[in-house]
Structure 1
């Protein structure tokens, strides 16, 4: 199929794809989603990466400002907090009239998810900063990647100093929009030694140890390092 050819029709199609993800797919995947959206244009994350040595663009795309983070509070089915980016899979890589293949990625082709034991602000700030990094530095993530942070995940007392990117077996690995395919990348918080263990022994072995220890795919910033 082709994306709509006129600017007006394309903008409506773009908005419809966005709404389909946030209002149809996300509630199926995560339960009820809070109305509030935390967006990139409410932070200086994009400007900070633009001024860094890693920047791959010279100016910011206006389509990026509305990309943000949605929050799903605990529910009987999912008794923990979920934070998920909204917009990295927007079809901002397409132009009116271009061919759309449902098997190709929509936008960057993924959205990032963090599950936590308690409500907190740090998952929102981390996801916004990492989304800005993806867009401004043109460095996309994928399952199997590792991402150390400066300090700790929370910015305060915690032994977790980075993320590993995995596929959560409790949910589909991807969903489909008219604009293409979207993967779900779940970010799991790890210690420095756990991240090193995943490099040497593989992500599956690390996740098996985290699941066995009781933390699994849900981040508890206060947890101790697992036995490696």
Structure 2
């Protein structure tokens, strides 16, 4: 597939891809999702990673600034809060007139999702920081990855110290845009020992231990107050 060649047509195509995700796919996936986007711009996280040794001389790309996080409140089908990035799957990695594979990734090829029982600020802050890390340091995530954090996940009293990246079996894990395919990576908060267990025994074994047979899908919801599961 060839990307539109003229600047005007390319911009329109780019905006159409963005709109397809935010105005069509996200409402289907997450219900009454807020139209507001909590932007990367102005948070300082991009600048923070640009000043780190991991940036390897990277400079700020203006395409990153309108990316951010959207929030979806609980619904009858999904009775918990959802936070999802928006922008990593923008086709900012291609240029006008470029040939791209229809089945290839759109942008970085994924967006990240966190679920919590109550409305929280920390998932937004974590997602913004991780987006900036991806964009500036060119270190991408994938299903099955583990991501430890400095301190605790919330910055407060919790035993959770990182994320594992899993496929949420209760929802679609992919969607398509005119610019390519997008995978949804669900981030689940875990302790250091749980993270180590998943490394030694596999992610499926950890998710089985996090599951609650009385609450389908409970293993995909991050509960900062929970105790470490028996390993």
Task: State the 1:142 CA deviation.
Answer: 0.1
Task: State the 1:37 CA deviation.
Answer: 0.6
Q: Is 1:224 the equivalent of 2:227?
A: yes
Provide TM-score, normalisation by structure 1: 0.98
Task: State the 1:58 CA deviation.
Answer: 2.6
Counterpart of 1:41 in 2: which secondary structure? coil
Provide TM-score, normalisation by structure 2: 0.96
Task: State the 1:101 CA deviation.
Answer: 1.6
In the alignment, the residues of structure 1 paired with residue 36 and residue 19 of structure 2 have an alpha-carbon distance, to the nearest angstrom, of 14
Task: State the 1:31 CA deviation.
Answer: 0.9
1:153 is matched with: 153
In the alignment, the residues of structure 1 paired with residue 27 and residue 202 of structure 2 have an alpha-carbon distance, to the nearest angstrom, of 32
Give runs of ≥4 in structure 1 deviating > 6 Å.
none
Counterpart of 2:208 in 1: which secondary structure? helix
Q: Can you give the 5+ residue segments of structure 1 that lack an aligned partner in the other structure?
A: none
- 1:102-141 superposed matches below 5 A: 102-141=102-141
In the alignment, the residues of structure 1 paired with residue 57 and residue 104 of structure 2 have an alpha-carbon distance, to the nearest angstrom, of 23
1:69 is matched with: 69
Change (3 A) 1:75 1:212: closer
Q: Is 1:183 the equivalent of 2:183?
A: yes
Q: Deviations over 1:111-167 (max 9, x none)?
A: 000000110110000000000000000000000100000111111011100000001
2:35 is matched with: 35
In the alignment, the residues of structure 1 paired with residue 21 and residue 100 of structure 2 have an alpha-carbon distance, to the nearest angstrom, of 17
In the alignment, the residues of structure 2 paired with residue 95 and residue 199 of structure 1 have an alpha-carbon distance, to the nearest angstrom, of 39
In the alignment, the residues of structure 1 paired with residue 73 and residue 42 of structure 2 have an alpha-carbon distance, to the nearest angstrom, of 22
Question: How many matched pairs?
Answer: 228
Q: Supply the RMSD in Å over aligned alpha carbons.
A: 1.1
In the alignment, the residues of structure 2 paired with residue 77 and residue 91 of structure 1 have an alpha-carbon distance, to the nearest angstrom, of 31
2:16 is matched with: 16
